Structure 1
Amino acid sequence: MQTPRNQTLAEALYRDIDKNDYLKEIYESLLYDYSINLFKLRKQQKEINIKDALRFADLLAKSTLPDKRDEHRLWGQELVILLSIVYPEDLAVKYYLGSVLSTVGNYRGLKSTYIEGFQTSNVFDGLYFEYDKSRLQIPGEEGSYFFHDQKDVYDGLNYKYFSYSGPTSMGKSFVVQTYIKQQIENGSTKNFAILVPTKALINEVRSEIIGSLQEKLKETNYRVVSASGDIVLQQEHSFIFVMTPERLLHMMIGKPQIKIDFLFIDEAHKISDRGGRSTYYYKVIAQLSKMKEMPTVIFASPNIPNPEVYLSLIPKINIDEVKKLASKYTPVCQFKYFLDLCEGQAYFYNDYSKSLSSIGKIPQEDELSDIVNRVGSTQQNIIYCNSRQKVVDYAVQYASKLPIKDDEKLISLANDIRNEVHNDCYLADLIQRGVAYHVGYLPTNIRLRIEKSFVDGILRTIFCTSTLVEGVNLPADNLFITSYRNGNSNMDEVEFRNLVGRVGRIKYNLYGNVFLIRMEDRLKTQNYIDLLQNDVPKQEISINLIDNKKYLSLVVDDLARGDMELTKVREAATEKDFDALRKFAMIFTKDIAEDNITPIREAFSSLLDEESEYKIKENFPVEKTSDDINFSYDQIINLRELVESGQEYPKLTGENDEVDFEELVDFLMKLRKVFKWDIYEKRTIGKSGTYREDSVVRWYAVILLRWIRGNGLSQIIYHALKYKEKNPNSGVWVGNMKMADVYNKNSKSHKNYIISETLGVIENVLLFSISNYFRKFSLEYKDVHQVDHFQNDWYEYVEYGTTNPLTIFLQQSGFSRESSKYIEEPTNQNKYLIEVDGEIQIHRSILTCGNVGVETEAHDIQFNMPELFID
């Protein structure tokens, strides 16, 4: 029998400190006092013994219990931050704030404008802080320090396989970017790859990496690549790839000679998502496992309690090569509120008691705009809406009560939006009132200026869907969540925590506020409370989600019958789940044909008997499978027949590359049949029209035609609105939501819905769906005709939004479509482009051309493609 050891003093002190009633009372009182100040309520503050509160904060910050240390340190940090807000002039509070932040290793917090210049008066503490800072020093960044958990992550990157998680504000990707920079500066010639979930994040991460390395890219012969068409990829360099899983997979299939030595998967929780996008992660890992040596693979995810689950994607993993880490520490605090406008009640939420406490009543006439103005009139606000339609509607309602600002930058930006988008665009009106919204595709110049204006505090409030919140790191003081839904589905705990983690700006402040607002009776109070109270549960990889697992036996049945359309699955599953199951089926048939052991095959193994496995192998031999999981064999056979019959892209004629509109519609309708869009794309390009079958395709063709001809956004929108004027019975849609049966050309709101829908079509249909199908058509055309490239390649035209070779060249060099169009204007071409020995070069004066988008992009490109620039 083992004798129990005695508790240490620290264990005795900390084991039950979080159950201390006096501590709970102090914390609850501080939250109350902070809340009545925040809402400007005329109520009596609760009395607090400041000395006792500081003592608790100090004790909690020094917690040593492994299983509770993160929670205790966070609580200590929150206590002292609340004290510093409620008692801003108290010298003892100011001192303890610096002491607690130092103790928990939040040295970056010490640099915030809120608390500059802290010096400890304790000699021993001072010695420890100096030692701790020397250990946490960020390589190559004098005076900058990791948080403790960031340092653990940095050290863990030396393992072959590593999966870690932490709060959104932990700076997970920053650590890996620092590691890659150090490796390169120390002489590495490895190829690094960073996977991000959105195209917006590609641009952000690409710019961050180039910005951190600058001239070192040329000195070390490294280049940053974000698309397989980038010119630098044709040259002899080492590379840092920044791509979505889809882009990386396509590149690896098309350029199998490229070696990847280090893969970082950011936002790895997407591997647990329902829907088809999660399947690309499996396929990327499978492609990498075909290399001579499996690269280092790092997974980073927000708030996941079991990050090691993602390591199961790696085949034949050796447990000695694996490391995992789950951190809960965040350098900023989020204070949460539930505002029930329907019932007229306001509550603050206590994270440690998991309870709501009333602050008071909300006036019956109060709307969202009143709440935002009361708590955020002088701060930076992000307002989350669950649909594109609500983004526009709420933004317009909110701004209608605000005065027009007399600000030159906002006036200039609003005028440019009217010129580059449309004169009646709501966004221009809102900008002049210090408000913006974000839906779909926007010209780079405008998007960057909106983001910069928000960072600079000229724009105070942005309305957006989850796409912007996930895609761009904008510094906000307040986040207003107007629904617990994300699109048509309820937000889960991971999505909610990731959303909440976007608020709080450590550079300026140590905390942020989150307001969950119930604005409609149909929204359930309990759903809001559940999001606040529920911890993030353990995650599964998507193949093991119940929404997928319950249909796997049907997948086996369909495949055993040779049915690649998965008829039984399609009848039983939702559209979202069917998309995932179809892609899993394609991976599965490939695994069986090649006898690969992967997580996908293992998930199906218990449902397979010898007979069904034999039938699937017979129905789908290797030649009927593909690494490209966008297309199944039934589609590929139809496509080959179409191309072999002599089908080509529609012809471009004349100097202006004219295209016969009816020929384009006919071509798209042929692709609709070949690729079975009515089955696989029934929400967008496969949807039948209300008054004629091809009316939806005709609508997309209008936008596609203007896009490939290089028209600016205002021209594309002009023609989209003209199409609606001629075809008013096609209705007014935003996504899959019908706003009106008949388009009214005199309605400003109808125009703005069409503008919003057009921006969404460019982003999601042209540059994703249609681009994907054109890519496959072009690949098949090259294969049938035995050529490496051909004239009139519409995949290239769609991808770059032009038929102009100069514009394509500029985009392949790193410029956006809009910046490339600006540069190719005759006056700018003469000013900035020079031909030297048959090669186009750019004059460095373009760095001060006056166009914010062009200047920003050129600043990066001068380092990533230095040979392009000339003095």
Structure 2
Amino acid sequence: MTAANQIAQTIISDSYFLKLYRVCVERSVLRTLNIDTEEKYTEKEIRDLLRFADLLSTSSISDARNYAYKIITYLNPYYKDNVYYHTVAKAVYSNLGNFPAISYLEADNNNTSNLPFDRSVQNEAKKLIQEVPDGVGHVFTDIQYDLFSKLISSREFSFSGPTSMGKSFVIKAFLRCAIQNTPQENFIILVPSRALINQYAIELKSEMGALLETNNYKIVTNSNIAELPINEQCNYVLILTPERLISYISQEKNPSIGFLFVDEAHKLAQTEDARSITTYTSIEKTLKKYPDIKLYFASPNVSNPEILLSMFRNGKAENTFKTQETPVAQNLYFIDLLEKELSYCLNDEFIPINHPVLADISSINDVLLRFGQRSNLIYCNAKSKAISYAKELAATIECSDNKALKRAASIIRAYIHPDYYLADLVQKEIAYHFGNMPQLIRNLIEDLYRDGHLKYIFCTSTLLEGVNMPTQNLFILDDKKAKKILRPIDFWNLAGRAGRLAKELQGNVFCVKHGDVSWDKPSFFKEKDIQLVPTIYERIDHNLKKIEKIIQEQEISGTDIEQNILRYIANIICIDTLEPKNGYKSPIITALIERNKTKIIELAKSKSAQNETPYLILSANESIELKTQNSAYKQLKYLHAQKRNILLPAQINYPNILETLTKLYKLYSWNDKYLGKENSLKYFAMLMNKWINNSSLNQIISESIDYFHDHNRKLRINNGDLVDFDKNDKTHINALIGNIIDEIEIVLRFQLEKYFNHYHMMVKNILGEDNAGENWAMLLEYGTQNREIIALQNMGLSRYSAQKIFKECRGAFISENGQLKKVDKHKVLSKLQKDSIEYIEAQKLL
């Protein structure tokens, strides 16, 4: 142990230090909560605190460094004009390598102090050494540099750190270096949601667009490389969801991949989410296809990042990294509105605040208005609650004169509907945000928030998907994600959003207990040693008997979610036993063998014995049961043998869509929530027809409102009773809009897309690729049949902007046979209105 670490260990276990640190925290808490106090630091206290911080900052122990950072941060409001504080603060942040915090001191505190000569030399040397390669003057923090140095020299790596440490910043720095390698290779960044695809694409274009262009790299956001507007040979950075990655590797002609970066990799352990299995499948199949691929995992707040490497490869211990060090301080508060109690967290214990600060606070609105300064994210566990709470707060606030907000309201009304709640809310500096919102509107809300125009955003678990919206204050109004208690990893991932690096030194997390939420299990506040157990392992270890029953086609008990996950795993096991005899064993088969569970492998082999479907089709569609796939394939083979047409219609209109959906309904025996009723197919045929044939979202919504009104349709409001639809009732209008957006995203672009893709693969196998006709799955994904609009969306543009630019900027395109080859960005921008949403998107993404 180094001398600095020995000193640090002595300090952080010293009773005087702990007592003084508690005083420091308490006074910071009172100031944050605007509670007046007459107490002031003595000269000895301030000198001792600053000395402790200086000594602790030289240590390599995360806890010691966090103490050092927090002391300087908590003293800042009191001593930001003090010359001695100026010098020590800058020295401590310099020792920590926290250059954004130093920039804050210089800009916000006018801290122009000079460090002692030896410290100054050390600081400048650190800046030179830790400068981000090609990063336009950006400098890594110490912990970021430590991670980057290990990452750049490894072919496989798994790392974890707090949400606020800037993991994506390090990933992008890694990418800057790797795209300049020789020979050049293609990259995949795997992200959990479409929302994160768009965010990554915009950030990469903005931060390293010129470097990408110089090195002949294109950013791609979908798996359909053939639809890209590319004239020459180039390389790719693909930003994909698990579903899109599976689609990519299923296409034989797609370019090979050299790097796979899995962001938000803890999603592999979301035991209540079937998509964790899809994530596993996408990685496993990529490694199988490209066995020499370089593999990297990034996760927040986990103690065993090595498990992800060992799951897919025999990763070495030195190829992992974990830290609890954070570049901003996060302060945790618990507000109990029922008992009128307020407490703050210190060393994992909640300390009551003996002050009647909650005396006149009785509602969530009161809490937000009292403690919500500047930027505030409010976490809710359901979309309906996010909208409801946003409306309740808006009722207490006057409209703003802010021009950006007025413009945003106009865009929302034009793009969605004049009565959409969000349009009224944004004019009061309030919004809501969730995953299934249209990309264009999500981007608009995020930009308004980052630019400081919005003060409150009510959001769902989209934040847990990694969407980058740091905030000064985070209010957690529920201890659940949907209906399940928040896991510790989810709670700390949420909490990590508080505190914006370079904009402030600390952020606040307020957990609010109120009439609707009891906070039954607040122990996750203390659970920071978070051990990941991938869903595949968790279910094999605890639900093997149920998986056996599923393979034997017996009924099992459990929730619908649990049953779906276990059926998915059982299906993967069955399909994996059909793996061609080439020595390869999937991780799931390997895990069963290691656990001496070979009986289930034999059961799976027995079930799969009658299969006739080609392995490549089965393997690319593991979320569809093997039995269903095989039945569908045999039916198509039979129809083809009978000289019957198995191609989808060339003309895509309502009658043909309805006929096709009815055929697929019978072929796949649909029985799920959305597609399980044959009489619902007429509605989805209508929606699908409008979507594929270029109707705008506004048109689809307006025509659906008229349809519901003219046909006296009933509507379910907030999961309650069915009511007669009233086109003059704003509640009904917004409920219908929410349903339509969900149906486009969940039914059209997820469920139907999956089945149409499978159908096309079967037809392609039977008739050959040149005779297989159109793949309707692609048309559902993009909401158009137009190849040029598809190409524009592949460049990252939203459907709306792609349609608008295609219509208004024809002279800016070079096309051959209906396929886009080149886009003149300057011509596009010259033809668009400068403050329009499509102009902003084109400027960022083309």
C-alpha change, 1:485 and 1:557, in structure 2 (3 Å) is closer
Q: Does the CA-based 8 Å contact 1:493-1:536 persist in structure 2?
A: no
2-side partners of 1:354 and 1:305: how far apart?
24
Residues 1:255 and 2:252 aligned together: yes
Q: 1:380 aligns with which of 360, 375, 378?
A: 375
Partner of 1:620 in structure 2?
608
C-alpha change, 1:548 and 1:398, in structure 2 (3 Å) is farther
CA deviation map 1:441-496 (0-9, x unaligned): 44544433322221121121111111145343123111111101111111101111
Partner of 1:467 in structure 2?
462
Partner of 1:328 in structure 2?
324
Q: Does the CA-based 8 Å contact 2:243-2:278 persist in structure 1?
A: yes
1-side partners of 2:723 and 2:537: how far apart?
42
Residues 1:767 and 2:759 aligned together: no
Partner of 1:272 in structure 2?
269
Residues 1:432 and 2:421 aligned together: no
Residues 1:109 and 2:101 aligned together: yes
Q: 2:800 aligns with which of 818, 826, 835?
A: 818
CA deviation map 1:63-103 (0-9, x unaligned): 34xxxx10111111011101002443333223322111111
C-alpha change, 1:648 and 1:45, in structure 2 (3 Å) is farther
CA deviation map 1:548-594 (0-9, x unaligned): 532223323443x4x3xxx43xx223322333322322332233333
Q: Give, in angstroms, the shift of residue 427 of structure 1.
A: 0.6
Q: How does 1:728-807 map to 2 (within 5 A)?
A: 730-733=714-717, 737-738=719-720, 740-788=722-770, 793-807=775-789
2-side partners of 1:191 and 1:20: how far apart?
53
- 1:97 alignment partner AA: A
Partner of 1:392 in structure 2?
387
Partner secondary structure for residue 147 of structure 2: helix
C-alpha change, 1:675 and 1:118, in structure 2 (3 Å) is farther
Q: 1:34 aligns with which of 25, 28, 32?
A: 28
Residues 1:243 and 2:243 aligned together: no
Q: 2:156 aligns with which of 141, 152, 161?
A: 161
Q: How does 1:850-869 map to 2 (within 5 A)?
A: 850=834, 852-862=836-846
Q: Give, in angstroms, the shift of residue 324 of structure 1.
A: 0.9
Residues 1:74 and 2:66 aligned together: yes
Q: How does 1:590-605 map to 2 (within 5 A)?
A: 590-594=575-579, 596-605=584-593
Partner of 2:281 in structure 1?
283
Provide structure 2 residue ranges, at least 5 long, that are not aligned to the other structure: none
Partner of 1:61 in structure 2?
57
1-side partners of 2:49 and 2:114: how far apart?
19
Q: 1:313 aligns with which of 311, 314, 330?
A: 311
Partner secondary structure for residue 677 of structure 1: coil
Q: Does the CA-based 8 Å contact 1:108-1:144 persist in structure 2?
A: no
Partner of 2:484 in structure 1?
489
- 1:35 alignment partner AA: V
Q: TM-score scaled by structure 1?
A: 0.88
Partner secondary structure for residue 132 of structure 2: coil
Q: Does the CA-based 8 Å contact 1:282-1:313 persist in structure 2?
A: no
Q: Does the CA-based 8 Å contact 1:192-1:263 persist in structure 2?
A: yes
- 2:720 alignment partner AA: K
1-side partners of 2:64 and 2:184: how far apart?
43
C-alpha change, 1:11 and 1:226, in structure 2 (3 Å) is closer
Provide structure 1 residue ranges, at least 5 long, that are not aligned to the other structure: 1-6, 687-692, 863-871
Query: Is the deviation greater in 305-314 or in 761-770?
Result: 761-770
Q: Does the CA-based 8 Å contact 1:278-1:580 persist in structure 2?
A: no
Q: 1:146 aligns with which of 140, 146, 150?
A: 140
Partner of 1:406 in structure 2?
401
Q: 1:671 aligns with which of 661, 664, 669?
A: 664
C-alpha change, 1:109 and 1:696, in structure 2 (3 Å) is farther
Partner of 2:537 in structure 1?
544
Q: 1:706 aligns with which of 681, 690, 713?
A: 690
Q: Give, in angstroms, the shift of residue 807 of structure 1.
A: 2.5
C-alpha change, 1:155 and 1:697, in structure 2 (3 Å) is same
Partner of 1:338 in structure 2?
334
Residues 1:21 and 2:15 aligned together: yes
Q: 2:623 aligns with which of 627, 630, 633?
A: 630
Q: Does the CA-based 8 Å contact 2:343-2:350 persist in structure 1?
A: no
Partner of 1:683 in structure 2?
673
1-side partners of 2:156 and 2:72: how far apart?
38
- 2:534 alignment partner AA: I
2-side partners of 1:548 and 1:851: how far apart?
54
Q: Does the CA-based 8 Å contact 2:86-2:113 persist in structure 1?
A: no
- 2:384 alignment partner AA: Q
2-side partners of 1:708 and 1:417: how far apart?
22
2-side partners of 1:319 and 1:442: how far apart?
41
- 1:273 alignment partner AA: Q
Query: Is the deviation greater in 101-110 or in 635-644?
Result: 635-644
Q: Give, in angstroms, the shift of residue 818 of structure 1.
A: 0.5
C-alpha change, 1:306 and 1:442, in structure 2 (3 Å) is closer
Partner of 1:716 in structure 2?
700
CA deviation map 1:136-194 (0-9, x unaligned): 12112353211122112212222222111011111112212212211223544112221
- 1:92 alignment partner AA: Y
1-side partners of 2:254 and 2:776: how far apart?
26
CA deviation map 1:500-544 (0-9, x unaligned): 1112111211111111111225x33452x3232221421112222
1-side partners of 2:772 and 2:257: how far apart?
29
- 2:165 alignment partner AA: M
Query: Is the deviation greater in 291-300 or in 268-277?
Result: 291-300
Calculate the aligned-residue CA RMSD, in Å: 2.9
C-alpha change, 1:229 and 1:28, in structure 2 (3 Å) is same
Q: Give, in angstroms, the shift of residue 769 of structure 1.
A: 1.6
Q: TM-score scaled by structure 2?
A: 0.90
Q: Give, in angstroms, the shift of residue 250 of structure 1.
A: 1.6
Query: Is the deviation greater in 581-590 or in 232-241?
Result: 232-241
Residues 1:301 and 2:299 aligned together: yes
Partner of 1:572 in structure 2?
557
Partner of 1:3 in structure 2?
none
- 2:240 alignment partner AA: M
C-alpha change, 1:334 and 1:642, in structure 2 (3 Å) is same
Residues 1:479 and 2:474 aligned together: yes
Q: Give, in angstroms, the shift of residue 229 of structure 1.
A: 1.6
CA deviation map 1:398-443 (0-9, x unaligned): 1111111112221122122112211111111111111111245445
Aligned length: 821
1-side partners of 2:254 and 2:112: how far apart?
54
C-alpha change, 1:211 and 1:187, in structure 2 (3 Å) is farther
C-alpha change, 1:285 and 1:664, in structure 2 (3 Å) is closer
Query: Is the deviation greater in 50-59 or in 254-263?
Result: 254-263
1-side partners of 2:298 and 2:795: how far apart?
30
Query: Is the deviation greater in 289-298 or in 813-822?
Result: 289-298
Question: What percentage of aligned pairs have identical amino acids?
Answer: 28
2-side partners of 1:282 and 1:463: how far apart?
31
Partner secondary structure for residue 111 of structure 1: helix
Q: Does the CA-based 8 Å contact 2:306-2:315 persist in structure 1?
A: no
